[in-house]
C-alpha cells in the first residue's frame, strides 16, 4: 500500500471528495454562539475535469468534478461562519496543472482571513507542494515525506508488439514529433531525449520554487533538502518541512483550543444535498413531465459556459471509457455543444477547458472550426488543464486568449500517421489470407505488410497537408503573439505552460477561475451564472429518448452520448484481467498502459493523428 502511495502522479487527475474521518466526526460538537465552523476536506483518487455524464439525481456517493472543488473553495472564502479549513489526503493522484490551481485557491482562502491546515500521513512531491500553500503543515509522528525529486519515464511497447507479431509502421512530420516512438523503438531518439530534458528541468525548477516560496526557504536550501530525501516525520520537522507532528486526536484538540471547544467540524462542506429517493415521483416525472423538463428552462441570468475537451479526441460522439479513467471525447459531440453555446443568447462567453493529449486529426479540426465560429459571435477563452498538447493545442489555437498553468504540458504541433502490420500475429495463429486488389492503392492500409516506397510517399503527402493546416491554424490564430517563427515552436516540440508563454503559444498563466473571470469581463457581464457543457443527461434522456430516438439528430436540442464498440485493445481477456491487478499494484504504470493501448487503438482507427509524444509518467 505504501508503494502505491509513493507513485502519486503529477500528471494524473485529482479527485476530492469532501468528507471527514471518524476522529473528526466523533469530536464534532455544537455550534458556538457565533456559529464557528471548520471544514475538513479529504482528497483522494483522480479528479475528472468534466462533470458526470449522467445525473440521475440519487447518487449514493456523488462524485465531484474539478470545478465543483473550486466552487467549494470559493464558497469557503465567503463564508463568515467558517474559521478554518483542514485538508487531509488519502492516496490522491495529483495532476501538476490542477495542483497549481488548487494551490492558488488555498492562497486565496488565506487572503480571505481563513486559516488553512494540512494534515499529512504520507506525502509525495505533488501532495507536498500543495501542502506548502497552507498556513501550517502537520504530520502524524510516524509519517513520511517522499521529497526525493522528479522522476520522468516513458513506456515503450515495441518489444511487446514483437512478441505478438505486430509491427507499427509509422511516419512523422516534425523532428520532435515522437508520438510513434513507443511503438517503434525501445528507447527515446535524440530529439525525444532532448525534449524530455527541457520539460523535466523546468518542472523540477517549478517544484523547487513552489516549495521555497511556501516554506520561506531559498531555492538552494530546497535543492539540498531534496537530495537528502525522503524524510521521516521527525526529520521533516527538523528540516522545517512541517510545522508540528501530532496524532489526529491531538491535532483536533489543538484546533479546539484555538477556536473553542464547541467548534463544529463540518465533514460535508460544499457537498450537494442528496434528495430523498421517491421512485413514484421519478416514474411520474418520466411519464408526464420528462418531455417538458428535457427542453430546458429559460435562463433569466446571463451565463458563462464552460465547455470541456477532456480526454483523447476521437471521431463521432463522446463515449464512456471501459474502465472510467481514460476519457474519450467525440468531435461530433463537441461540435454540437459549441454550436448550441453559440446560438444560446443567454450564454455571453465561452471558456473551453482543455485537458487532452490530442487524437484524431479530423476530429480535432472539427472542434477547432466550431470553436472558431463561436469566437466570431462571442468571447472564446481557453483554459488548459494538466495537458493540452497536439490535437489539444489544435482545438485551442483559434481562441482569443489562452490560459495555462505553469506546469501544463502543451504544444506538440506535429503529425504522425501509419498503420499496424499484424501478419506476424496471424502467422503465429496459423491464419493465412488470399488477397486480390482492384485499384492501384486499394491495399494502402493492408495490415499484412509495411508501406512500399510509393505508398509511403502518398502517406507523407497526406500528413504534410495536415501539418500545413495545423501550423497555418496556429500562425493565424496566434498572429503577432508568437515570439518565434512557427517552425521554431512547431515540429512536435512540447513545452511547459511557462515555456509556452515565453514562446507566445499561450497568453496568460492562470487557472480555470481566472479564465472564467476574464471571459466575463470580455463579455462585459458582472452578474452571471456558470453553465457546464455538455450538460448531464437526466432520466428522461436516458430512458425516453433511448427508446424513441426523439431529438437525437437535432443538434439545436440534443447532444447525444452513445457507446460504440469498445477498443479491441481493451477487450482482450488478458488486458481485462491484468489491468485491475496492475491498477492496485502500480496505478501510475497501469494508467500509462491503458492510455497507450488507447493510442494503439486510435492508430488502428485513424491513419493521421495529432497526438502528444509518448505517455509520460512523472513522480
Which CATH number fits the domain that encloses residue 50?
A: 3.90.226.10
pLDDT, average across residues 38-53: 79
pLDDT tens digit sequence for 519-550: 999 999 999 999 988 776 655 555 545 544 44
The residue segments making up the domain with residue 579 are 300-533+565-618
d(CA 531, CA 592): 32
Q: Is the pLDDT of residue 388 over 90?
A: yes
Which of 220-229, 265-274, 553-562, 599-608 is predicted least confidently? Answer: 553-562
Domain boundary among 245, 266, 287: 266
pLDDT, average across residues 431-437: 85
Q: Is the pLDDT of residue 299 over 60?
A: yes
Domain boundary among 266, 288, 321: 266
| Per-residue model confidence (pLDDT) at position 233 | 96
- Identify whether residues 43 and 91 lie together within a single domain: yes
Domain boundary among 242, 266, 290: 266
pLDDT, average across residues 176-184: 88
| Per-residue model confidence (pLDDT) at position 577 | 52
- Identify whether residues 400 and 493 lie together within a single domain: yes
Nearest to 248 by CA among 40, 547, 484: 40
Domain-located, residue 196: no
- Identify whether residues 250 and 325 lie together within a single domain: no
**Residues near 383 by Cβ (< 8 Å), separated by ≥ 6?**
351, 352, 353, 354, 403, 404, 511, 512, 514, 515, 516
Q: Is the pLDDT of residue 333 over 80?
A: yes
Residue 77 has φ and ψ, to the nearest 5°, of: -65, -25
- Identify whether residues 260 and 358 lie together within a single domain: no
Domain-located, residue 217: no
- Identify whether residues 372 and 453 lie together within a single domain: yes
- Identify whether residues 319 and 247 lie together within a single domain: no
Residue 560 has φ and ψ, to the nearest 5°, of: -85, 150
**Residues near 507 by Cβ (< 8 Å), separated by ≥ 6?**
401, 402, 403, 481, 501
- Identify whether residues 380 and 491 lie together within a single domain: yes
| Per-residue model confidence (pLDDT) at position 536 | 66
pLDDT, average across residues 38-64: 67
pLDDT, average across residues 576-590: 56
- Identify whether residues 588 and 480 lie together within a single domain: yes
d(CA 451, CA 600): 18
- Identify whether residues 441 and 520 lie together within a single domain: yes
Domain-located, residue 508: yes
- Identify whether residues 245 and 370 lie together within a single domain: no
| Per-residue model confidence (pLDDT) at position 46 | 74
pLDDT, average across residues 278-288: 52
Number of separate domains in the chain: 2
Place of cell 502528444: 612
Which of 225-229, 323-327, 557-561, 587-591 is predicted least confidently? Answer: 557-561
Domain-located, residue 14: yes
Domain-located, residue 601: yes
- Identify whether residues 331 and 236 lie together within a single domain: no
What single string gives the DSSP state of each residue in 246-303?
Answer: --HHHHHHHHHHHH-TTPEEETTTTPPPPPPP-HHHHHHIIIIIHHHHHT-PPPSS-E
pLDDT, average across residues 161-178: 90
pTM summary value: 0.82
Domain-located, residue 77: yes
pLDDT, average across residues 212-237: 96
pLDDT, average across residues 359-386: 95
Domain-located, residue 130: yes
Domain-located, residue 552: no
| Per-residue model confidence (pLDDT) at position 49 | 82
C-alpha cell at 340: 448550441
- Identify whether residues 392 and 261 lie together within a single domain: no
pLDDT band with cut points at 50, 70 and 90 for residue 604:
low
pLDDT, average across residues 27-52: 68
Amino acid at each position: 500500500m505504501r508503494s502505491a502511495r509513493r507513485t502519486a502522479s503529477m500528471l494524473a487527475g485529482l479527485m476530492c471528495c469532501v468528507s471527514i474521518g471518524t476522529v473528526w466526526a466523533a469530536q464534532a460538537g455544537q455550534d458556538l454562539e457565533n456559529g464557528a465552523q471548520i471544514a475538513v476536506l479529504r482528497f483522494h483518487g483522480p479528479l475528472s475535469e468534466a462533470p458526470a455524464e449522467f445525473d440521475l439525481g440519487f447518487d449514493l456517493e456523488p462524485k465531484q468534478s474539478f470545478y465543483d472543488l473550486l466552487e467549494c473553495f470559493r464558497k469557503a472564502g465567503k463564508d463568515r461562519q467558517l474559521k478554518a479549513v483542514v485538508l487531509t489526503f488519502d492516496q490522491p493522484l495529483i495532476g501538476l496543472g490542477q495542483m497549481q490551481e488548487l494551490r492558488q485557491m488555498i492562497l486565496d482562502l488565506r487572503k480571505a482571513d481563513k486559516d488553512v491546515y494540512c494534515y499529512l500521513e504520507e506525502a509525495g512531491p505533488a501532495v507536498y507542494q500543495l501542502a506548502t500553500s497552507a498556513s501550517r503543515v502537520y504530520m502524524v509522528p510516524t509519517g513520511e515525506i517522499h521529497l526525493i525529486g522528479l522522476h520522468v519515464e516513458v513506456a515503450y511497447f515495441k518489444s511487446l508488439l514483437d512478441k505478438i507479431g505486430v509491427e507499427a509502421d509509422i511516419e512523422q512530420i516534425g523532428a520532435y514529433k515522437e508520438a510513434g516512438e513507443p511503438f517503434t523503438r525501445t528507447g527515446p531518439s535524440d530529439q525525444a531525449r532532448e525534449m524530455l530534458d527541457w520539460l523535466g528541468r523546468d518542472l523540477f525548477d517549478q517544484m523547487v520554487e513552489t516549495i521555497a516560496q511556501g516554506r520561506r526557504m531559498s531555492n538552494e536550501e530546497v535543492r539540498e533538502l531534496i537530495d537528502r530525501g525522503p524524510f521521516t516525520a521527525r526529520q521533516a520537522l527538523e528540516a522545517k518541512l512541517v510545522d508540528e507532528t501530532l496524532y489526529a486526536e491531538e491535532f483536533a484538540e489543538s484546533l479546539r483550543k484555538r477556536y473553542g471547544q464547541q467548534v463544529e467540524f463540518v465533514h460535508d462542506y460544499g457537498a450537494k444535498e442528496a434528495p430523498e429517493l421517491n421512485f413514484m415521483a421519478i416514474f411520474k416525472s418520466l411519464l408526464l413531465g420528462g418531455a417538458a423538463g428535457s427542453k430546458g428552462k429559460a435562463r433569466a441570468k446571463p451565463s458563462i459556459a464552460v465547455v470541456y475537451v477532456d480526454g483523447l479526441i476521437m471521431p463521432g460522439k463522446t463515449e464512456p471509457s471501459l474502465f472510467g479513467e481514460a476519457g474519450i471525447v467525440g468531435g461530433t459531440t463537441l461540435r454540437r455543444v459549441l454550436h448550441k453555446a453559440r446560438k444560446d443568447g443567454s450564454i455571453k462567453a465561452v471558456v473551453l477547458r482543455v485537458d487532452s493529449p490530442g487524437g484524431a486529426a479530423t476530429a480535432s479540426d472539427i472542434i477547432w472550426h466550431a470553436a472558431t465560429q463561436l469566437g466570431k459571435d462571442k468571447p472564446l477563452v481557453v483554459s488548459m488543464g494538466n495537458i493540452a498538447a497536439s490535437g489539444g493545442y489544435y482545438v485551442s489555437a483559434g481562441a482569443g486568449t489562452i490560459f495555462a498553468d505553469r506546469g501544463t504540458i502543451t504544444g506538440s504541433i506535429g503529425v504522425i500517421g501509419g498503420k499496424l502490420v499484424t501478419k506476424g500475429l496471424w502467422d503465429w495463429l496459423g491464419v493465412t489470407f488470399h488477397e486480390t486488389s482492384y485499384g492501384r492503392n486499394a491495399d494502402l492500409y493492408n495490415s499484412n505488410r509495411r508501406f512500399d516506397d510509393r505508398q509511403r510517399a502518398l502517406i507523407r503527402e497526406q500528413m504534410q497537408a495536415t501539418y500545413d493546416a495545423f501550423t497555418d491554424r496556429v500562425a493565424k490564430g496566434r498572429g503577432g503573439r508568437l515570439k518565434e517563427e512557427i517552425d521554431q515552436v512547431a515540429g512536435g516540440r512540447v513545452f511547459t505552460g511557462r515555456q509556452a508563454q515565453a514562446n507566445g503559444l499561450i497568453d496568460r498563466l492562470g487557472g480555470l477561475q481566472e479564465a472564467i473571470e476574464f471571459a466575463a469581463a470580455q463579455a462585459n457581464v458582472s452578474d452571471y451564472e456558470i453553465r457546464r457543457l455538455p450538460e448531464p443527461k437526466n432520466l428522461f434522456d436516458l430512458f425516453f429518448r433511448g427508446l424513441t430516438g426523439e431529438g437525437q439528430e437535432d443538434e439545436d436540442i440534443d447532444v447525444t452520448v452513445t457507446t460504440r464498440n469498445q477498443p479491441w485493445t481493451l477487450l482482450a481477456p488478458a488486458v481485462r484481467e491484468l489491468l485491475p491487478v496492475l491498477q492496485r499494484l502500480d496505478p501510475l504504470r497501469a494508467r500509462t498502459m491503458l492510455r497507450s493501448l488507447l493510442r494503439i487503438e486510435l492508430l488502428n482507427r485513424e491513419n493521421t493523428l495529432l497526438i502528444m509524444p509518448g505517455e509520460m509518467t512523472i513522480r
